Structure 1
Amino acid sequence: METRDFQEFVSNTNLIEMKSVGRQYTWSNNQVLSKIDWIFVNAQWIQQWPHMEGVIMDPLFSNHSPLRIQLEVPKERKSGSFKFYNYLADHPRFLQVVETYWRKPCYGTHMLAVWNKLQTIKKGMQQLPHKEFKGIGDKVSDSRAVLIGIKQQMRDHSRQAELVQAAAEAKKQLEKWVLVEESIARQKSKVTWLKLGDANIAYFHACLKNRQVQDQIIRLVNKQGGLLITEQEIEHEVSEFYKELLGSSTTQLPVVLPDIMSSGPILNWEQQRNLVSPVSREEVYDALQDINDSKAPDNDWFNALFFKKAWPVIGQDVTDAILDCFKSGQMYSAINCAPSP
């Protein structure tokens, strides 16, 4: 009950946990480990000091670990890759642009052709926001100013009738740009529990800045408790950690003993046939519909919403590529890898 109340309090007050490094737990009685000490900040803090992070120090003689906020000059952040924004899917020319770029001839396997077509479509998607959606913040301010001006003119009762339609149109435009602005902020911040239209722009931006900090490794604490700050120290520590975690290569792998497998629950013949039956086109489409709209593969940054909205144009080719992958057991390497930072 206390944990639920605490989570509700954090959510209702729009507090954000500051990124911290060091020990995983903040309290211990030598038998139980727990994290009961936290560093929370509000949206204003994140907006002003997004690069700051906490350090969970060694407890020494106390049951509690001291918490310290590290202050330093932020490092330069590299520019991000292409990202598809959901509001583009509602653009009146969305499908037209997708079809124009998708129909350009590409050669090779189905998977390679889909990859090349997606790379080509990026150019078309990048053109839409520059022409129609450039300067969203200014459009919101201008639309709000227009609506306020019309409302002020409506103080003259003799003009109310002629201004009603203009006010309705101005309000419609303002709502359009506000939702676009909030959609962008929400998508960047990865906040999914707040609904569009709740006017959470400041909070979305704060979550975005906090997520950007979470994605960076500014410092690490090694096994000996030492604080690593330089890029060379951090790179060496990460490399050694994964070498120890993954181990060395081997030429033989242990096999599963059939006798042990048969002693537990097993599939009947019909279930086994279903597992190895060919994947159908309907299954590919149904699987896409079950994916959250905001989910996106790392390699091209087109999220599930893009594929759903563009399916009338790209569905045939994408399905062919997926079915080829299941038949051959091979996937184009560029799709099956993470992007370079």
Structure 2
Amino acid sequence: MYEIVCKLKLLKSEFRRLKKRTGNLTDNVQKAKTFLDKAQSLFTTYKEDIFLNLVKCCRRVYAAAVKLEITRGELLTTQHDVTQEFISYFQNLLGGSTTHRLLDLGFLRPALKHTITTAEASLLVAPVTQSEVREAFFDIDVESAPGSDGFTSAFYRAAWPIVGQSMFEAVDEFFRTGKLLKRSIQLF
């Protein structure tokens, strides 16, 4: 876990620097396309797995940039439009106006006769697998962050060929030891 935190911390300053220079969605699409072209050229030349993984990551970044340009590429000029976009974005991110009703399921108790078997119980404490960790990361909404490090699920999806093994090892370590890093080591 410490290794991952250190690596992400190093990336954070680079992402902040890039964020200051970015903003034009069309330029971002063009940059992503350029990176993809270079990655494909490297793979064509060297035919190594590392370059194939780089091509896959660049494809994801390019697709995300295109999608972002299409969905958020509209220039908002009035205060009202900007306010509405802001509200809409956070309503979608936080679940909108969905109301939650409490349901009293007490009436179901008499019908619940199933208790878990020894085999089912053993599954609850079985070691976590790489596919389970990947699935958990990929089930998170792309604009949400799985932790307080500020990296969104989209980042982890795009970089999975590079960070996936480290993320699995960190999650596995937590399940084996029950220990997390202290707050003082977090990225913020």
TM-score (norm 1): 0.32
- Counterparts of 1:312 and 1:204 in 2: how far apart (Å)? 39
Aligned identity (percent) is 22
Name the structure 1 match of 2:167. Answer: 318
d(CA) in 1 for partners of 2:76, 2:134: 34
Rounded Cα–Cα distance in structure 1 between residues aligned with 2:142 and 2:170 = 21
Q: Are the structure 2 counterparts of residues 269 and 204 from structure 1 closer, same or farther at C-alpha, using a change threshold of 3 Å?
A: farther
Report the equivalent of 1:268.
Answer: 117
Letter in 2 for 1:196: T
How far 1:126 moved relative to its partner?
Answer: 2.0
Q: Which residue of 1 aligns with 2:83?
A: 206
CA drift of 1:301 comes to: 1.1
Q: Matched residue of 2:183: which SS?
A: coil
C-alpha spacing 1:204/1:277, structure 2 compared with 1 (3 Å): farther
283, 286, 295: which one aligns with 2:144: 295
Tell me the CA shift for residue 297 of structure 1: 3.8
SS at match of 2:71: coil
Could you tell me how far apart the structure 2 residues matched to 1:298 and 1:329 are?
17
Question: Structure 1 residue 201: deviation in Å?
Answer: 4.0
TM-score by length of 2: 0.54
Alpha-carbon distance in 2 for matches of 1:287, 1:336: 23
Residue 79 of structure 2 corresponds to residue 196 of structure 1: no
1:302 and 1:204 map into 2 onto residues whose CA distance is 28
Tell me whether 1:121 sits opposite 2:11 in the alignment: yes
SS in 1 for 2:180: coil
CA contact (8 A) 1:297 1:303 kept: yes
CA contact (8 A) 1:299 1:335 kept: no
What are the residue-to-residue correspondences of 1:66-215 with 2, within 5 Å?
111-131=1-21, 133=22, 136=24, 183=68, 196=71, 199=74, 201=76, 205-207=82-84, 210=87
Distance in structure 1 (CA, Å) of the matches to 2:145 and 2:75: 23
Higher helix share: 2
**Structure 1 residue aligned with 2:154:** 305
Structure 1 residue runs without a partner (length 5+): 1-110, 140-178, 185-194, 215-262
Identify the structure with the greater strand proportion. Answer: 1
